[in-house]
Chain A
Amino acid sequence: MALTLLRGMRTPILARRNSGLFFTTLHPPLSRLTARAESAQATASPKSIQLATKEAAEQKTQGFEAVIGIETHVQLSTVTKAFCSCPYSYGSQPNSTVCPTCMGHPGTLPVLNSKVVECAVKLGLALNCKIAMSSKFDRKQYFYPDLPKGYQISQFDIPIAKEGYLDLDLPVEFGGGHRRFGITRVHMEEDAGKLLHSESGSYSQVDLNRAGVPLLEIVSEPDMRTGIEAAEYGAEIQRLVRYLGVSNGNMQEGSLRCDVNVSVRPIGQSNFGTKVEIKNMNSFSAINRAIDYEISRQILLHKEGQADQIVQETRLWDESSQKTFTMRKKEGLADYRYFPEPDLPEVVLTSDYIDEIHKSMPELPEAKRRRYENMGLSMQDVLFLANDDNVARFFDSTLEHGADAKLAANWIMGDIAAYLKNEKLSIDEIKLTPLELSELIASIKNGTISGKIGKEILIELIAKGGTVKSVIEEKDLVQIADPAAIEAMVDQVLADNPKQLEQYRSGKTKLQGFFAGQVMKASKGKANPVLLNKILGEKLKANS
């Protein structure tokens, strides 16, 4: 999952709007993930392209800046709904997990799920918010067939958490950099049902399984300026809810939904321009592209003197055409006629309760990144390892068994990540344990096995499990580091290949590689390569 995300982030969308100069060069890097994971070498060229892209984009926005704010809905992974005991699981038979309460029958009363409060406090704390010791629910009224009660239970004027911030690091290939974005508020509310359209289109269909499922809505300050900043904000929220275990953060299933507000203003102007809301983006890369499209659309209107054509409205992102389209015009604030929910008492917290939750919180992505950075790892490594809490846990556990940080990072981001990608597995699904990875690293470091053999053992351990020690013994893989033994093999190879030896002596010195390969083959890959080359070199020199 982490891999998909990183890959998505790499798509250099800015270029699509630019001149043909960048267009062709930028098309391919969609499937470059392994390159990123395996070696720094491969990232050198796309990085320069992306920087060039960024500069080109800056030129295009010359004189203007975008202001972006995001509303994120996170569906909580509680067992039951927010106000009734109906179980909820994604993909259940339609209208199977319903009861009179979530279907809005008269005479029913909501009773709040304690887990929802716990999740809200967790996320509020993780977002560095002030937690309200006392907050309340309100009714937000609107008529729509997926909302059986005619109102949504939400929090209006007194949310459970407010005034926080979120720290993140932009990907290296987008120029990197640390950002802090303000969080306006976090509040608890319930989801609506799902509305579908029948094939004939003559009527619509409603599935109320999702009605009443708990959500946390996170409202950001309008602190973002580019599509990539907004996409990374979304990605960090996803990381956070997964680290905290409050949601699966799955965008495809709709467990994480981002609505984005975008406006554009001349640089130096303090008032905001007219804001446009964009919906219907189901990946972070789509958020990035949708926003950058919308920014350039608005800037173009400004430059053509048609700024009055920018109206407050909701636009939908269309993936196939890579454009936004008007969904509905807004004539002002919708009239939701909020009033306090009379069926629910206020939510009162104690400082003991908050402290308890605070103490139970895991290390969060930002703290993890700073810790990894302090170990001396590159930002590329840091972002990869901290992206997925399972990967981070595996890495941390490997270090606890004494492995060197940089070496462990290389193995995880290289051979292990490549394997996971090929087999479409996550790191906790493989048989290799952090202990054995640390053993493997140690065995290479102390010369028991060569790095090459190490790779072979790794694949074996990932697929079948077992210990480094047993694989080495079983397959007799201990590195040959005895000079006399290697010398014997070298002598044998030289004697077996008189023709090549002759060619070497007549000046074809490149053949040393051939001999080295033959000796390695004779040793079944076990010869210590440094020793081998040293002895071979001496022999060839002496003989010529």
Chain B
Amino acid sequence: MLSAASSSTIPRLRWAAPRRSQSTGNQWLLLLLRRRCSVSSSFSPPLVTPAAAAAAGSGALEPPDVPRLANAARISLSPEEAEEFAPKIRQVVGWFGQLQAVDLASVEPSLRAGTAAGSSLREDRPETFANRDAIIEAVPSYDDPYIKVPRVLNKE
């Protein structure tokens, strides 16, 4: 990981305040792509490529396979668009790649960034969300008492 924060004293079952906006490698690119493109409406199965799984897990900054990323993000991308995005995404990956050059020899490895201090865990005490009507109202297609979604027979 990229984190350089060293965890000094760890209080009992306490942890850092949640930090937003940390993402890694290809995942970040998916977000980038999603913001720019229309989302396909079909529910199709998760993508199935072992090599990609390895790449996503390892954190290595490989050149992105744009058609695969688009498929994984359920984004319809024409071959022309894919070609147009590829160099831009490579550039972004390149910027992140600069982090690889940081010398971490003297830094103790850490699972996450910023575990120094912050909020604690939540007690197991129930709290009913008060504005349920509004949240149900916000469901795009509701068939009381269920949320209505396109037909799904199995994960295929």
Q: Which residues of A contact B74 (CB under 8 A)?
A: 143
User: Are the CB atoms of A196 and B146 closer together than 8 Å?
Assistant: yes
Among B23, B45, B72, B126, contact of A79 (Cβ-Cβ < 8 Å): B126
Q: Which residues of A contact B12 (CB under 8 A)?
A: 350, 352-353
**Interface of A, helix, strand, loop or mixed by DSSP:** loop
A113-B122, A331-B48 as given contacts; A98 in contact with B135, CB under 8 Å: yes
User: Are the CB atoms of A345 and B18 closer together than 8 Å?
Assistant: yes
Interface size on A, residues (CB 8 A): 71
> B102-122 toward A: CB 8 Å interface, digit per residue (1/0)?
000000000110110011111
- Chain A nearest CB from B143 CB (Å) reads 6
Q: Which residues of B contact A353 (CB under 8 A)?
A: 12-13
Docked complex Cα distance between A158 and B111 (Å): 9
Docked complex Cα distance between A197 and B23 (Å): 36
- Chain A nearest CB from B111 CB (Å) reads 5
Q: Which residues of A contact B127 (CB under 8 A)?
A: 80, 85-86
B24 sits at the interface (CB 8 A): yes
A11 sits at the interface (CB 8 A): no
User: Are the CB atoms of A345 and B114 closer together than 8 Å?
Assistant: yes
**Best-surrounded residue of B19, B115, B124, B151 (most CB of chain A within 10 A):** B124
Q: Which residues of B contact A328 (CB under 8 A)?
A: 45, 154-156
User: Are the CB atoms of B25 and A339 closer together than 8 Å?
Assistant: yes
- Chain A nearest CB from B65 CB (Å) reads 11
Among A134-142, A359-367, A455-463, the one that faces the other chain is: A134-142
> B37-56 toward A: CB 8 Å interface, digit per residue (1/0)?
00000011111111011001
CB closest chain-A residue, reference B59: A339
Give 30 CB contacts A-B under 8 Å. A79-B126, A87-B126, A94-B146, A95-B146, A97-B128, A100-B135, A109-B18, A110-B18, A141-B72, A143-B46, A195-B149, A327-B154, A328-B45, A328-B156, A332-B48, A333-B48, A334-B45, A335-B52, A335-B72, A337-B26, A337-B27, A337-B53, A337-B72, A338-B56, A339-B25, A340-B1, A340-B24, A343-B20, A345-B18, A345-B114
Which residues from chain B sit less than 8 Å from chain A, CB to CB?
1, 7, 10, 12-27, 30, 43-50, 52-53, 56-57, 72, 74, 111-112, 114-115, 118-129, 132, 135-136, 143, 145-156
Which residues from chain A sit less than 8 Å from chain B, CB to CB?
78-80, 85-87, 93-100, 103, 105, 109-115, 117, 134-136, 141-145, 156-158, 195-198, 201-208, 327-328, 330-340, 342-350, 352-353
